[in-house]
A and B are shown apart, each in its own frame.
Chain A
Amino acid sequence: MRETGGRGSRTDIRLSREEIRRYGRHLILPEVGLEGQMKLKAASVLLVGAGGLGSPLALYLAAAGIGRIGIVDFDVVDESNLQRQVLHSTADVGRPKLDSARDRIRSINPNVEIELFDTHLTSANALGILGGFDLVADGTDNFPTRYLVNDACVLLKKPNVYGSIFRFEGQVSVFSAPGGPCYRCLYADPPPPGLVPSCAEGGVLGVLPGIIGTIQAAETVKFILGIGESLVGRLLLFDALTMRTRELKLRRNPECAICGDNASITGLIDYERFCGIEPPPAAGPGDGESAISVAALKAMLDRGEGVFLLDVREPREYEIANLGGHLIPLNDLPRRVHELDSSQETVVYCHSGMRSGQAVQFLKQLGFRKVKNLLGGIDAWADAIDPDMPRY
């Protein structure tokens, strides 16, 4: 949906008296000036994700006077987002992220034209959505969307300002710029599911996406202005714990499957499948036979049925809230499996059911027959059964 009327072509770009006052500190910079500010106003940037990285991107790009900002997101604001997603405030909990993002951008700079895409980015819609913008800033949280954004940017020849975070560390670069490398040149294949923990499982320092997303915003503005040295061909690594940055050289890989000399990928593919996410999983979290709902578990416990609860989260998570389960973090399970009794009915739980799904799969491979995964994890329990339980 388009939020305000379209503007004229680039040659019609003018700054109003209000805009000249607003952007005064840019206008007196020789590297920006009136000409640069008009370039920013003529530019359009698509933000993929209005979360941790998308927050500072949206705030600073709006403040800088980017003419048109598009945002793709489908999520609603959750309390656990507020620790880092500064685009949204406490009063926005439960609202679509797009709504709070739009309100916040308007309050910062009403001159910005906002386009909202209330959807998952998919192979079916990506080229259409990305095609309407000059640049893309990638603030996604999963590998299928990362590869989708990369491939769509390469096919459309759009620069992709990339940022990624994990716990205390971040990576930033600019991919798919003319002559430069793409994300696949750096990583030809994604890791198999489960091998790399997500932010939801691994945690993240709230300030980190603020820093990384702000670096992405700086790269975006520099790219539009054509000033300085961009991160094209360089991967910036940032470690908040040591407060050190490092820089690695990136090269375009002539054998890259999408931007190489003999590219084998010429259109968008099935990225869930490419990342090894096969719906539905063989014995994964959704499998009826090896899964149990929180309501069914409550009923079992209420009936006094002997069920062994196994908690595969980390000790810190256990401290916040637990169901009295036996704690063996997922990574320790292989060497501590002797603590379990395969003849006993066992329900495995974690925060949301992903890690416990892996634990159930692992135990089944070892011959455990009576293990079930608690669907939705302790979070679903807190939601449906025990509202007093702390959530995180």
Chain B
Amino acid sequence: MATRVLIPTPLRAYTEKKESVLLEGNTVGELLRGLTATYPSLKKHLFDDTGSIRNFVNVYVNDEDIRYLQKEQTQVSEKDTVSIIPSIAGGRS
């Protein structure tokens, strides 16, 4: 049972330019650990030194923020799409 994880543009540099990755796992945490195991250079962009998801990165299951679900323990199935949404600042320049 694989779930699709969408990679945002700023992080595709670390996923061999892939826009999405299919990963096995029952929870969001398992998927993200699988993702960083496949692409180790992504790790410091998603997790801080204590292993928590960084505050400038939000993770959604479909259109719901996992902070308001069961966080990393949020259950996923193959019908779900997981999105990683980092903050971006561009506009004026």
Contact = CB atoms under 8 A, between A and B. Distances in A.
Contact of A166 (B9, B64, B68): B9
A209 B93 CA distance: 10
Contacts of B13: 331
A139 interface: yes
Contact of B55 (A51, A189, A199): A189
A75 B91 CA distance: 14
B9 A165 contact: no
A366 interface: no
Contacts, number: 114
A45 interface: no
A14 interface: no
B88 A196 contact: yes
Contact of A139 (B58, B87, B92): B92
Contacts of B54: 189, 191
B91 A53 contact: yes
B46 to A, nearest CB: 11
Interface of A: 48-54, 73, 75, 138-143, 146, 163-169, 171, 186-191, 195-200, 202, 204, 209, 212-213, 235, 237, 239, 242, 246-251, 253, 331
B67 to A, nearest CB: 8
Interface in B29-46: 41, 44-45
Contacts of B10: 166-167, 196-197, 202
Contact of B87 (A48, A191, A246, A248): A191
Given A248-B65, A249-B65, A52 B91 contact: yes
Contacts of B19: 242
B78 to A, nearest CB: 19
A155 B45 CA distance: 31
A199 B91 CA distance: 8
Interface residues of B, number: 28
A202 B13 CA distance: 11
B88 A142 contact: no
B92 A187 contact: no
Contacts of B85: 171, 235, 237, 248
A51 B93 contact: yes
B91 A169 contact: no
A246 B91 contact: no
Contacts of B41: 331
**Quick one: which of B10, B86, B87 has the most chain A CB within 10 A?**
B87
A53 B92 contact: yes
Contacts of A249: 63-65
B85 to A, nearest CB: 7
